[in-house]
Amino acid sequence: MIIKLNNSTNANQISNIQFFLKTNGYEFFYQDFKKHLIVPTLKQTELLNQFDFIEEIIEVSTPYQLSSKQYKNNTVFSVKGIEIGGNDLNLIAGPCSIETEDQIHVVAEFLKKQQVKFIRGGAFKPRTSPYNFRGLGNKGLKFIKEAAEKNDLRVVTELMDLSNLEEVYNHTDIIQIGARNMSNFSLLAELGKTNKPIMLKRGMSAKATEWLLAADYILCGGNENVILCERGIRSFDMQSRNVFDLGVIPLMQSLSHLPVFADPSHGVGKAAFVNKMGLAAIVSGANGLMIEIHPNPEKALSDGEQALTFNEFELFIQNSKPLLSAINKSADFVNTKKTLEYQNF
């Protein structure tokens, strides 16, 4: 349940209703900037009749509250003029890791030619082994921001922990929270205090409710620009890196008002399958896709086996257009000329 108080509600009245909830055993969260009380376990609205300063009561029956479709029907926001959550399919592409200044500029120039609006690239990389390449850090952030500005792109990059928040915040347009950090609730709560859009990837074994409760940590702080991103869940099958859960895309859209993206690159872990699964994600209703590309995947310092070449990515764009037309969906990218002429970097 979400209780909206009148703007004129004074501190004494707020204290009274909070005391009532606390003494009756109801856990709650108070949003001071909105004068909203979020009380997930309160079901009997008549208990609140005594408080004449309540403006509206929104009954939300799910454990997650602010991410629920019962609270809000749809979230649409803009990132430097590009709409997220509307009828356009948003496409985010780039390498797993920012490896060199030349590499990220080559990728950015290619994306500009494809009229793709978002570039991704990791400067701080969470790796299973401490001996693998873990990114260029702040230098990588500088490289990707410069490449993006030169080619009119918007940056998506991952935040690992709060110690890097200021630098990442200043160099990106969408902060990505990876699967390993979906349950880092103190980090999510701090991100709720920012005004930067957050892409929240699903945890490796997270259920739908757990994923949406993680989103609520951000939303509670006041940051309403949250994107959910399906990236595959862990499986017992040794033949596949992950199980790319296409069914969760329409499920989340039925449960939540937040935009739902898909990451087929991590979802399947093999470049040969990314094209087909990316198209399948479009049909499933995804608001956007995140796809890994690399000038020369064989020489990539991380996740080269799942990265598309430039030619393969351009082919994916061409294949997506008739599909988008068939399902009456538009795209925020337009590639009018098929070239397929790119050489390895």
Q: Domain coordinates of the chain in residue numbers?
A: 2-58, 77-331
Q: What is the mean pLDDT of the chain?
A: 93
Q: Are 71 and 221 in contact (CB under 8 A)?
A: no
Helix locations, 132-223, DSSP H: 138-150, 165-171, 185-191, 208-220
pLDDT in tens, 130-146: 777 778 899 999 999 99
Give the confidence band of 345 by pLDDT, cuts at 50, 70, 90: very low
Single-letter code of the amino acid located at 311: N
Give the confidence band of 334 by pLDDT, cuts at 50, 70, 90: low
End-to-end CA distance of the chain: give it in Å, rounded: 55
SS3 of residue 113 by DSSP: helix
In the predicted model, what is the mean pLDDT of residues 286-296? 97
Closest CA to 15 of 42, 37, 44: 37
185 or 239: which leads in pLDDT = 185
Q: Are 100 and 340 in contact (CB under 8 A)?
A: no
CATH of 77-331, one of 3.20.20.70, 3.40.190.10, 3.40.50.2300, 3.40.50.12170: 3.20.20.70
pLDDT in tens, 208-231: 999 999 999 999 999 999 999 999
